[in-house]
Structure 1
Amino acid sequence: MYMIKIFLFIVPVVISSRIDQDNSSLDTISSEPISRFAMLDDVKILANGLLQLGHGLKDFVHKTKGQINDIFKKLNIFDQSFYDLSLQTNEIKEEEKELRRTTYKLQVKNEEVKNMSLELNSKLENLLEEKILLQQKVRYLEEQLTNLIQNQPETQEHPAVTSLKTFVEQQDNSIKDLLQTVEEQYKQLNQQHSQIKEIENQLRRTGIQEPTENSLSSKPRAPRTTPFLQLNEIKKNVEHDGIPPDCTTIYNRGEHTSGMYAIRPSNAQVFNVYCDVKSGSPWTLIQRRADGSQNFNETWENYKYGFGRLDGEFWLGLEKIYSIVKQSNYILRFELEDWKDNKYYIEYSFHLGDHETNYTLHLVEITGNIHNALPENKDLVFSTWDHKAKGHFNCPESSSGGWWWHDVCGENNLNGKYNKPRTKSKPERRRGICWKSQNGRLYSIKSTKMLIHPTDESFE
């Protein structure tokens, strides 16, 4: 390139000098012939310049050729990398298609399981009602049979009475067998549902994870030696008509699988609960939040008697909870999971009042790995938007849902609005499921469980 510039500079100079000489000759002696030797010198100069230019061009071509070869090598490497990326992209697309097909199959299977669960639940409730009616009829017939037997000689027994007794026993055995079959089907459905939920959670974790907040974690605390609240009248749990009064009795019968069971506490009606078996101990689940599928901004009546589905999000009902815990002294356990999938818990000994006290709650912390956001040894009164306890007029409206409040609204509420995705504004966090940390900040909670189990029972 440098030689080209020299040549381009020399050629105009030579031509210009030649023109100047011609003009000078014409001016001085117009008739004098041009010197041949001068022309030969000009040609030599021009030839020399062209030769140098040729050498420069040759070097430039060699250099350019080397650069082009390097570029081609890099292009070949790029082509190979692009080809490898294309193969990987195609594999990812195939895996994505397979993942979508699997997800769709799981969703269909989940719907089928839910429908079967609802159908079985309905059948079980009908069977329980029929069983109660039959048991009442059986008791009535047994009384009549007793009277007949007492009024007749021992050696005589009416054939109709014997036939009736046999029929009643057969009916009772058939009902027991049917209930056992339904319970076994329930267990299988619950296991399948749990497996599907676990697979769905694994699939979700493979996707894009949203930003998370700071952790709620605190150092695990050793169990406190605080005595349990001896505020409930301690009674021995007694079965009525063969129906267990709580999950502990069910566990001691040999049912060591988590699932839905029918119980009948003392002086209460039969109702279904979810027994959650943890490390060899049966817990009764009284509340669960997981995905926001159930609205928790319900009325006082619904909070009193319960709402939702035991296999999903639900509130068991204050009256049902009271009927269980009045039988003995119980522990209340809160289990929380944040948006980083970190899990926390805290346990209290507690006493729950009846409807005349608005189900007032008294707590004493036992142990846990999270800050205690609930005041101890205080009257925590339950309120809803349509049933506001004295001193808590605005708490249900400003915080959403029904909950136990004391002096300050919004420090914790596990029955608030399910914020999905997590909100960053403090007013929205206050209305949602939240728990106050040790530094005073409100944290949005992803999922919750509230569980109870007796303190004075042994587990077989």
Structure 2
Amino acid sequence: MQTIKPWIPCASLSSHEEMCHLGHRTKHNMRITLTAFMFVLAVVCVPVFCDQEEPPVLDLGTPPETRSRFALLDDVRLLANGLLQLGQSMRDFVQRTKGQINDIFKRLNIFDRSFYQLSALANEIKEEEEELKKTTVALKANNEEIKGLSEEISSKMDSILQEKSGLQSKVEGLEEKLGQLSLGLMTTAQAAEINSLRNVIHSQEQSIRELLKAMKEQSEQLSLQQMKIKALDEQLTANMLPFFSSEVPTLPPYQTPASPSSTMNLPSDCSELFDRGERASGVYAVKPSSSKPFMAFCDMSGDRGETVIQRRMNGTMNFNQPWERYENGFGDFQGEFWLGLQKIHSLTSQGNFMLHIQLEDWNQNKFFTLYRFYLDGPESNYTIHLMHLSGNLPDPINNPTGMMFSTKDTDYYNQQDFKCAHRLSGGWWLSACGDTNPNGVYFHMRPKGRSECRRGIQWRSSAKACFSVKSTQISISPLMSVGSTFLTAASSDSHVFS
């Protein structure tokens, strides 16, 4: 005998479990209905199928009875009632199934609305955070102005105190003179002089009182501004904590082998590794001529080996880092990373190098541009030198040639007292605020506003255009490995590089 499983209420199950339970109940009801139907057929066994022929019996006393070949009327009625009950059960089952499916769709719609509301709330929190940043910057500027005014008031106060001490000495001298004059006769001229001196002293004292009152008001305003700045800093820190609480990982260091001969055989860059026959892209150890060995990602997909110095693809890494991080490098070689200014300088100091920039926009269009490239050392804050060679990406306005590298805590580009790296995001050679910045904020959809585009990953080609970028890869390779065409173009403008 088959065991019937108990029925569980739909409200206590998830959507998937509810559909499975619905299927089990359907099978169970169908079994019961078919069993009842077979039982009715067994009871109402139609004589035409159930009767068997028997040998005739001679009965002379009673007349022969004619046996009907059709079922009795009660049996037919019983069968009809069973079929009606079966149809009613099936209709009730269909209605219950429709109601359960409608409940499932209602719950899915409620979940979709809740998810949309959470997304909208997250966007509002980000916008409020940006407003708080702007307000904090403005208040800090006001605080600097108030500090300057306070210093001026302090200097004026010192001069007033000096004048007061001088006046007191004069008063003491006058008192001595008055004491001496009191012994003899006082002329009219001496009395007038004494009265004028008294008036001067009275006016000076009045000026001192007014200045002291003004200084007290300024001190109260300074205290109020400092309290506002402190409250905004605390609020900004609390809002930024959930987004930047995790530490940005550093790139894996080079592990020194046991035998010194292994270090001597390391390639100077990825192009030399390519010339040795390596064709698989990945992380390799390199050793430039003027530095220690380090790990680097080599792109071997083209007709030469390129050392990748920057890559962005999905926004998993925060590129708004201080100077020390950009100098030493950060990120993950398997995802997004920045190789480090020290390592880039050690690579380019070996000879003539080419900078290869690859960009992809939000319409899956890919662009590239090639530059002749050299980078100065830390003594000049890693000044960049570029000369455009070719590519289908427009050369941005205000080419950053001759510019020093800037970050949010070390901004070497200051145009009319406006800190570009602090106002925008990430570190780059900022020739003009927001013209080109592959290390800006990564937006997971195409930025809508111009101000948002300026803070993100962009490449400007004109004064008004803002070319938003979805992914980037920046790599370098020796100029000799790209063919004579680029060498000819570079030699014709060799005066650009010092």
Q: TM-score range by the shorter chain?
A: 0.3 to 0.5
Structure with greater proportional strand content? 1
TM-score by length of 2: 0.44
Q: Which has the higher contact order (CA 8 A, sep 6+)?
A: 1
TM-score by length of 1: 0.48
